[in-house]
Structure 1
Amino acid sequence: MEPEDKIRQPLPDSLWAATACSAPQTMPLQGDHISSVVIIGGGYTGLSAALHLAEKGIEVTVLEAEEIGFGGSGRNVGLVNAGLWLNPDDIEKRLGSTYGQRINTQLAAAPERVFSIIDRYNIDCEAVRNGTLHLSHSLSGDRALIKRAEQLQKRDAPVELKDPATTARLTGMNRYRTSLFDPRAGTIQPLSYARGLARAAQSAGARIHTQSAVTELSSTPSGEWRVKTARGCITADKVVIATNAYSAQLNKDLQHAFIPLHFFQYATAPLEPEQLQAILPQRQGCWDTRQVMTSIRLDRAGRLIIGSIGKISDQGNNFLQQWAASQLSRLLPQLFSQQKISQNPDFWEHSWCGRIAFSNDHLPHLHILAPGLISCIGYSGRGIGPGTMVGQSLADHLTGMPLEDMFIPVSRLTPVRARKAREQWYSRGSDLYHLYQRMV
């Protein structure tokens, strides 16, 4: 029997948990400690901030309530994209030219930063940098991709619109009309990337404690912060809250500043070599232009992964699995039929879902919650690149860069109006959409 401190609760079942590289050695926090910076949350933002702080020689400690990558970082689709969901012109209209241009410039470089960290620290995370494909499902989708391409190309992004024949050849699917190819982007095994970031941060000198949920966060008369867990306490000059969509237990105000959405995924067993020749032969990750989007990609072993907005309950959602089967039979009828999928109990190897912090304006938000207490939330499903870049920017700020020089402006922490009703509307709406798609 292992000592109590070494007992690990398993991560929720997923393809990523089953195939990730090993987790770095960590222990729960015990006793009283001092650290220059405490980061709460072991996902992309927190681990990137820890890595970049440690590289600067700053004493930094990460406290993770569960295990590294337990939240959205370990349940991600694994698309390393440039930019946000919004078009760059819309970002500049909402933020103004100064911050709009900054965020567009910084996040255009996000894939390069992610892949450079992977290369520098030799992170084994199935990194494939062959680009991504944004797929048009309709005439309105064509118009949306043309508009996006024009705005990106105006900013010298090397994106290309692909015609229907090329789109079909690159995907193996004839249901999509056109596509927008972004060669800057790629795919990773998202949990392995999180674990690799943690290991890299440790190698640079960061301390990481898992199974260390914060139970109390308070300021001292001298302006320091006391961060308590069940078995320990850290006194720090500054604290970063990097819990994003998993902030409920720590800060109710943060929790109410975004709409929680869920994104589910189903992964097949490894496909046969002849099947893989026809499906995404260059291994691009892709998603479509539907409002309730579908994502499709392969992993290193040749599993096909399909996902969309929705939540798989503990009892399972048979209609979501049936939707996944119907989508594959519709998109790839030459390879799959819904009947054959349903008759094969081993067709699906894994199913899982994660929570997304969906912001009101589809932009990430930087909040100063109190002197020395900072947080960034609301990636709206684009966590890998932006989370990595925000972590680096937070490290720069905590080591002297003025707040006004960060690429995301500070904004007031404002609760989302009718948040619960909107959460239910998105949830029920996506379920009804998937039921409808199964029937047509």
Structure 2
Amino acid sequence: MRDHDQSLWRITCREDAKSCSLSDGLTVDLAVIGGGFTGCSAALTASKAGASVCVLEAEQIGFGGSGRNVGLVNAGLWLPPAEICKHLGDADGERLISLLAAAPDEVFGLIEQHNIRCDPVRSGSLHCAHSPAGLRDLQTRHAQLVAKDAPVQLLSASEAAQRTGSAAFHGALFDPRAGTIQPLSYVRGLARAAVEAGARIVEHCPVVSMHHEDGVWTLKTGQGIVRAKALIQATNAYHRGLPDTATNYVPVYYFQFSTAPLPETLRSRILPGGEGGWDTGLIMTSFRLDAEGRLIIGAMGNLAQAGHSFHAGWIKRKLAELFPELVEQPLIEGWHGRIAMTSDHIPKITRIGPNALSAHGYSGRGIGPGTVFGGLMAESLLQDNPALLPVPAVDEHRESWTGLRQAFFETGAALTHFVKARF
């Protein structure tokens, strides 16, 4: 079976972090488990503040969802503002809305500051209405976002067609704050910047046990022991072992395929402004171009399971439906990643022990929130100030029927793609 870890992003990545081996007896101010957006942002923030930091990654930096991401740098969450405040309350909701509204500024600011070679394009995003009902949803979102002073625009069907190069949409919500990046290059660039600031990155180093005693965390790995005053667990949907600190979420898979670089005649008509896009469908479709002009299209589904052929067949049909000019373009690379979904679609921070925090549940919005959450978690622990956290920490977060809900999402996606690929 094909290795679906071998994404386009791994092939085109231009960043790397200098990994080191772990010498026994290392003691640091902050240990970070997991080398994705959250962990690398935390490491960079803490190192720049003068703290000693060690990142322990079971595979390679960006191996998990961060390196398999679509690469859309969006402001906010999937939820409209009113729903965020409904779940968090007005004060905490407004704080999170404000922080994540500025998340693209944070991401693109770090890219510029540290010269991260991740093909950044800040041309905005297009949330496209796949149906009249989808357009009504965008109208509601537009009204709520404008009320929060977000500079968003509601586009007509003809305007959406001009921006996307597709006549399939009933309108679109344009957000100029957003953009696209090569996500694996971005996360590895964060790690490289953290190393330059003094952090240690140790790859292929899963943590096998950990305990807290006398104000110090002791983390045992196959390479040695790390002792730390504070701890961040940033494993999200790729948590391994350590059952006592396992996060609770619904695993949802998302796959992508890419074309070869398109000829200039097509690039000038398809997403000519460089925006990234996705639609309002329940089984969502995303689409964007990369720096070489490949069209990358994705949707919910696991390419490593039985539904692989349904997903692959459907994506070809969907590509032709959205962009008829690409009907003859072969789809080359195919890969998938795992998303940690929460019932309310709001990320969670849990206390996993003294001076120890874990974050998970970005529900498909990993780049901006992961960057913001990682940095603020590091600041909160180093300054012993919980008020700095983007959301209040909880002692435990539980989701019900996670296995059944995972099966529901995957079966629903496979059946939808099976039916639509054939008719």
Specify if TM > 0.5. yes
Other-structure match for 1:6: none
Other-structure match for 1:5: none
Q: How does 1:23-422 map to 2 (within 5 A)?
A: 23-220=16-213, 222-251=214-243, 254-255=246-247, 257-313=248-304, 317-333=308-324, 335-337=325-327, 340=328, 347-400=330-383, 402-422=385-405
2-side partners of 1:251 and 1:55: how far apart? 32
Contact 2:252 2:409 in 1 (8 A): yes
Gaps spanning 5+ residues in structure 1: where? Answer: 1-9, 342-346
Q: CA deviation at 1:260?
A: 0.5
Q: CA deviation at 1:277?
A: 1.1
Q: CA deviation at 1:352?
A: 0.2
Secondary structure class of the residue paired with 1:282? coil
RMSD (Å), alpha carbons: 1.5
2-side partners of 1:247 and 1:143: how far apart? 38
Secondary structure class of the residue paired with 1:379? coil
Secondary structure class of the residue paired with 2:19? coil
1-side partners of 2:68 and 2:402: how far apart? 23
What TM-score do you get using the length of structure 2 for normalisation?
Answer: 0.97
Contact 2:258 2:333 in 1 (8 A): yes
Q: Which amino acid aligns with 2:107?
A: V
1-side partners of 2:398 and 2:237: how far apart? 14
Q: CA deviation at 1:278?
A: 1.3
2-side partners of 1:150 and 1:270: how far apart? 38
1-side partners of 2:73 and 2:55: how far apart? 24
Q: Which amino acid aligns with 1:350?
A: E
Q: CA deviation at 1:419?
A: 1.2
Contact 2:261 2:293 in 1 (8 A): yes
2-side partners of 1:51 and 1:420: how far apart? 35
2-side partners of 1:175 and 1:235: how far apart? 55
Contact 1:27 1:211 in 2 (8 A): no
Moved more, 25-34 or 89-98: 25-34
Secondary structure class of the residue paired with 1:70? coil
2-side partners of 1:366 and 1:22: how far apart? 29
Q: CA deviation at 1:27?
A: 2.6
Q: CA deviation at 1:25?
A: 1.9
> How much identity, in percent, do the aligned residues show?
43
Contact 1:16 1:191 in 2 (8 A): yes
Secondary structure class of the residue paired with 2:209? strand
What is the number of residues matched between the two proteins? Answer: 421
Deviation string 1:35-72 (CA, Å, 9 cap, x unpaired) is: 11100000000000110101110111100010000000
Contact 1:240 1:374 in 2 (8 A): yes
2-side partners of 1:225 and 1:175: how far apart? 54
Q: Which amino acid aligns with 1:226?
A: T
- Cα–Cα, structure 1 residues 87 and 314, in superposed 2: closer, same or farther, change >3 Å? closer
Secondary structure class of the residue paired with 1:31? coil
2-side partners of 1:276 and 1:381: how far apart? 27
1-side partners of 2:67 and 2:211: how far apart? 29
Secondary structure class of the residue paired with 1:427? helix
Contact 1:29 1:229 in 2 (8 A): no
Q: CA deviation at 1:319?
A: 2.1
Contact 2:5 2:336 in 1 (8 A): no
Q: Which amino acid aligns with 2:354?
A: P
Secondary structure class of the residue paired with 1:13? coil
1-side partners of 2:25 and 2:305: how far apart? 38
Secondary structure class of the residue paired with 2:326? coil
Secondary structure class of the residue paired with 1:308? strand
Secondary structure class of the residue paired with 2:84? helix
Q: CA deviation at 1:254?
A: 2.6
Gaps spanning 5+ residues in structure 2: where? Answer: none
Contact 1:253 1:415 in 2 (8 A): no
Deviation string 1:137-196 (CA, Å, 9 cap, x unpaired) is: 111111110110111111110000011111001101001010000000000000000110
Contact 1:240 1:375 in 2 (8 A): yes
Q: Which amino acid aligns with 1:397?
A: S
1-side partners of 2:116 and 2:268: how far apart? 27
Q: CA deviation at 1:396?
A: 1.5
Other-structure match for 1:429: 412
Q: CA deviation at 1:113?
A: 0.4
Contact 2:151 2:175 in 1 (8 A): yes
Q: Which amino acid aligns with 1:241?
A: Q
1-side partners of 2:4 and 2:158: how far apart? 42
Identify the match of residue 12 of structure 1 among 5, 20, 30: 5
Contact 1:73 1:190 in 2 (8 A): yes
Moved more, 129-138 or 324-333: 324-333
Q: CA deviation at 1:318?
A: 2.2
2-side partners of 1:73 and 1:56: how far apart? 24
2-side partners of 1:323 and 1:197: how far apart? 35
Contact 2:118 2:186 in 1 (8 A): yes
- Cα–Cα, structure 1 residues 411 and 128, in superposed 2: closer, same or farther, change >3 Å? same
Contact 2:42 2:374 in 1 (8 A): yes
Q: Which amino acid aligns with 2:180?
A: T
Q: CA deviation at 1:29?
A: 2.0
1-side partners of 2:188 and 2:225: how far apart? 24
Q: Which amino acid aligns with 1:243?
A: T
Moved more, 38-47 or 415-424: 415-424
Q: CA deviation at 1:253?
A: 5.1
Q: CA deviation at 1:405?
A: 3.9
Q: CA deviation at 1:316?
A: 8.3
Q: CA deviation at 1:283?
A: 1.1
